[in-house]
Every structure is written in C-alpha cells, then in structure tokens.
Amino acid sequence: MTKRKTVAVIGGGVSGLAAAKAFDERGHRVLGFERSHDLGGVWEPSRSYPDVQTQSPKDLYRFTDMPMPESYPEWPKGPQVHAYLHAYADKHKLCRLFRLNTRVQSMEKRADGGKGWTLTLEAAGKTWSEEFDFVAVCTGQFSNKNIMRHPGQAEFEAAGGNVMHSSEYTDSNLADGKRVVVLGGSKSATDIVVNAARNGARSVTMVYREPVWRVPYFVGGINFKRLLYMRAQEQQFNSWGRSPIRKAVFAAFTPLIWANFRGLETLLKLQLKLKKWDMVPDGPIEKDASCSLPIVTPGLFEGFENGSIKPIRSTFERYEEGQVVLANGDKLPCDLAVLAVGWKLGVPYLAQTYQDKLIEPDGQYRVFRLAVNPDLPDMGFVGFNSSFCTILSAEMIANWLVRYADGKLANQPSADVMRKNIDEMLEWKRHERPAAKVYGGLCSAPFHFRHFDELLADMGATKRKRANPVAEQFSYPNADAYGDFLKSTPQYTAC
C-alpha cells in the first residue's frame, strides 16, 4: 500500500500544473504555491513581452490529454498559451490546489529529523511555516531575472533614459518614438526588436555577442518540426552512454552525418543570408544544438534588409547621456535599452548547504534524470528537463517523479546508482558534448526521444514506441502516443 503524502508544488506554470496533476491523481494531498496573482508562469501576460509566441508548433507544445484548439495558429501567441493552460487547469480542477500571491521564502529539512521539508511561506504581509512529506520544485529556468548593470546607468536614467529586463517590456507603446537598443541575440531579443520596429520606434539596434545557429519556422519550405525533431535526426548527435558497438556504427556513418549537417548549414546560410549579416557561427550545428538554439522570429531578417533593424556584433560597455557605448567603440543613440540577457538558474529559497549538494562549482547540476538528487531526499524538480517540447517534457518527468517519490518505479534507483549515473552524465557533458552544459546541464534537447525512453523504461511502460516504425523513426514526438505510453505504466492510488 502506498501512503498518502502531503506534497508541496512550488510554481504554477507549465511544470507546476503538470506536477500538481500527477500527484493529485495518485491520491496525494497537494498544496501549490504561486508567487504571482495568476497561474501560467512565463505565459502570464504581466510577465510576457508583446507578440511572444511559442518556439515549437502547437502539436509539440501540449499536454498528452488535451490538444490546443484547432483555431490556434501553428505557433500560438502568448495569450493563447495562457488560455490553454487555464483550460487545462480547469479540466483537471487544479486551481483548487494553488495558493496565489504566495511566496516561498525558505526550505529546510524538518527540525524533528523526520522525512520531508519545512517551507516558510509569505503572503499578504504574513509569514508562516508548513511541513511537507515531499516537495516538487517547479519554478523551472525562467523565474529569476538576470539583472545586469553597466557603468553610467544611473546618470543615463536620470537624464530620461530607460533600462529594463526583456520580461518588463510588456507594452508595445514603450517603443513608440524611441531609439531602442536591445542587448542579446536570443529569441526574446529578436522578438522584441521586431516588435519595436513594427510599433513606431525611431530606430532599433540589436547588439549581440556571438552568432548562433538560428532555425526558421520553415527550412527550405519545410516545417522544421519535420526535419529536426525526428528520432533519426537525434541519433546523429553524440548522445550519452553509447556502447562500443553503437560508437562503431556512429563512426561508420560519420561521413554521411557530416554531409547531412553541412547541407543543413548551407541551406540556413543561403536562406537567412547569414554571411551578409556577420551571423555565421564559428562551430558546427551538430555540436552547438541545444536548448539555446533560437527559432528565427518572423520579420527579423526582413528588418535587417529594409534597415528597420540594425544588428551589431559587440556588447554594452557603459551608458552615457542619451546613448550606449559598445565594447567596439560604437556609440548608439538610445532612449530605451532592453536587456534580453536571460534568467538566473537556481533555487534561492533552498539553504546554501543544500545548494552545495545540488550544484557543482562549475554550475552544473547534480540531478538524476534531470529530476532528483540522491543527497536531497524527499524533493525533486519538474521543468529542469528543458526541451523544445516543454509541456510534454514536464508531463513526462512529473509522472516519473510521483512514482519515484512513492517508490513505484519499475526501475527504482538506489542512491549509489543515481550518483554513478550523475557522474557519468557530467563527464559526458564536460568532455564529449560541451553544448549539453547549457543552462547548468538542464536540457534534454536534442535528445527528446532518448530522454523519454529512459523515463518510460523506469516507469515500467509496456508501450514505448508507436506501432508504425516509419512514423516512430521519421516523425516528431506525438503527444497522443505518449499519453498511451503513460497509460501502459502500472497504475496505483495512494491512500
């Protein structure tokens, strides 16, 4: 018999909803805590910049039991994703489980030495503590802004200039009549420069440090999901734990793999005119592909062509009155500086003694299956397995985590097994595939299928692949199919 637990779910975004559902449907008492006034995480409108939309097509960005509405476009906008998440929460009655406007201040092991954790919580000016048998940390990788300051910022702002993080650019009117300079080359940076150029900015400049491979929604007229999300394509990357035989097979096909990726690079260079804009990356795409691979914002390269957006390869050095001075010596007139410099990884409410067990000195996270640390029992992470199909990844890891917490995995790992696997994965990331170190090593892309295969095997799924081998090998992950795979795992209810 599985004992019912009291489970804390920290965060009410995609990952929090997935975790709340997974633990709730297994019979546990779930209490969710969301620091903002609404569910939705990064898709909550007050945290989103205008025109934000998914990087993944809607049939990849969904839960297994609920497709996005047919009326949605292929790449849904932020308000549509937010509405979809609310509809999912309503379908599974998840809103009843969450306390909004409630912040987790700290997280400590229970003082009485028992299993579980004590959370110190704050809401409406009041602070209190609650004990939990298990904690699911679902704040993901985009909850703490990376705040960057440069010399002269105070004087720049005092003279009327405005500096903000990309998540604070929530109104297109902010750009109207302004000379806008955006620091960064990520998807958020390119979304914002396109939005600013389309909404009355006097000038728009994108300052980026290094060129990266970018993938348009359609590569040579073909939806990129049909090119980059296949198991056959994934197998061309140097994944972890390869046997000598698999390494030999990989080596035998290396010339064909090399030709495949050079062909893709050539197509991207020609289609996007990367050489013209000094945006040809230094490294090969097969070595650089990870969660940091941005999708091209529609209108970006068109903006370069018509002069409404100017790309400059450099970085900010300092501010002066009415301008930004770059490291290359350029001085850019500026009224509004938007810093699209990402987010800080971390679990700030977790005491340093526990963070030291979780995070290596070089910033890599010690997590088994991107979900748990054997030296931090009775807790786990949903949303650390970042990918190009984020919602499906969160749902898969949430279902794995509840079984792990209940000791119900078919392959329940011991602490020693987890430590050994963690060390092997860290070795692979550091020496065989450095691109896998992005985001603290918390990224399953481009190995979606391999990651899901491991989770399903651990859960004891009797179905792990589609019946049609051609579809399984040459098509993208199918959410409906993964719903069936999850149903094939042993079912149980805590009581």
| pLDDT value of residue 49 | 82
Q: First vs last Cα of the chain: how many Å apart? A: 7
Max CA distance (Å), the chain: 69
Is the distance from CB of 404 to CB of 35 less than 8 angstroms?
A: no
What is the rounded CA–CA span in Å between residue 126 and residue 153?
A: 35
| Confidence at residue 292, expressed as pLDDT on a 0 to 100 scale | 80
Q: Are 135 and 7 within 8 A, CB to CB? A: yes
What integer is the mean pLDDT of 108-122?
A: 94
Q: Tell me: the pLDDT tens digits for 36-61?
A: 999 999 899 888 888 889 999 999 99
The two beta strands, 162-165 and 336-339, are: parallel
pLDDT digits (tens, 9 = 90+) for 130-173: 999 999 999 977 768 888 999 999 999 999 999 999 999 999 99
pTM attached to this predicted model? 0.95
The predicted structure's pLDDT at residue 192: 96
Task: Give me the pLDDT at residue 342, please.
Answer: 87
Work out the pLDDT band at 82, boundaries 50, 70, 90. very high
Q: What are phi and psi of 121, to 5 degrees?
A: -115, 155
Burial 216-246 (b: 16+ CB within 10 A, else e): beebeeeebbebbbbbebbbbbebbeeeeee
Question: What pLDDT score does 278 carry?
Answer: 92
The answer to whether 279 and 303 are in contact (CB under 8 A) is no
Q: Give residue 292's identity as a one-letter amino acid code.
A: S
**Band (296; pLDDT cuts 50, 70, 90):** very high
Count other Cβ atoms within 10 Å, centred on residue 379: 25
Average pLDDT over residues 338-364: 93
State the pLDDT at residue 248.
87
Residues in the chain: 495
- Characterize 334-345 residue by residue with b for buried, 16 or more Cβ atoms within 10 angstroms of its Cβ, and e for exposed: bbbbbbbbbbeb
The tokens for 186 are 């990520």
Over range 381-398, report the average pLDDT: 94
Q: Has residue 406 got a pLDDT over 90?
A: yes
d(CA 20, CA 7): 9
Of the two residues 138 and 249, the one the predictor is more confident about is 138
CA distance 85 to 74: 17
The confidence band for 315, taking pLDDT boundaries of 50, 70 and 90, is: very high
What is residue 344's predicted lDDT score, i.e. its pLDDT? Answer: 84
Task: Judge whether 106 and 351 are in contact, CB under 8 Å.
Answer: yes
What span, in angstroms and rounded, lies between the C-alpha atoms of 462 and 488?
5
Helix (H, G, I), strand (E, B), or coil: what is residue 6? strand
Up-side HSE of residue 155: CA atoms within 13 Å toward CB?
10
Percent of the chain with pLDDT over 70: 100
- Decide if pLDDT at 177 tops 80: yes
What whole-number percentage of the chain has pLDDT above 90?
A: 87
- Name the amino acid, one letter, at 406: D
What is the pairing mode between strands 103-109 and 117-123?
antiparallel
In DSSP notation, 401-466 reads HHHHHHT--TTPPPHHHHHHHHHHHHHIIIII-GGGGGGGG-B-TT-HHHHHHHHHHHHT-S--S-
Residue type, 160: G
Q: At residue 190, does pLDDT exceed 90?
A: yes
> Collapsing DSSP states into helix, strand and coil, what is residue 37?
coil
Q: Which pair of structure tokens corresponds to residue 393?
A: 């990844």
Quick check: 109 pLDDT over 90?
yes
The whole-number pLDDT of residue 145 equals 85
For residue 382, count other CB atoms closer than 10 A to its CB: 35
Distance CA 402, CA 336 (A): 46
Using CA atoms in the order 404, 405, 406, 410, what is the torsion angle rounded to 10 degrees?
A: 10
Residue 215 and residue 224: Cα distance in Å, rounded? 8
3-class secondary structure, 237: coil
Choose among 395, 455, 451, 454: nearest CA to 25. Answer: 395
Q: Is the separation of the CB atoms in 319 and 295 below 8 Å?
A: no
Using DSSP, state whether 48 is helix, strand or coil: coil
Average pLDDT, whole number, for the chain?
A: 95
Asked if pLDDT for residue 487 goes beyond 90, the answer is yes
Q: Give the pLDDT confidence score for residue 366 in this predicted structure.
A: 98
What confidence category does residue 242 fall into, taking pLDDT thresholds of 50, 70 and 90?
Answer: confident
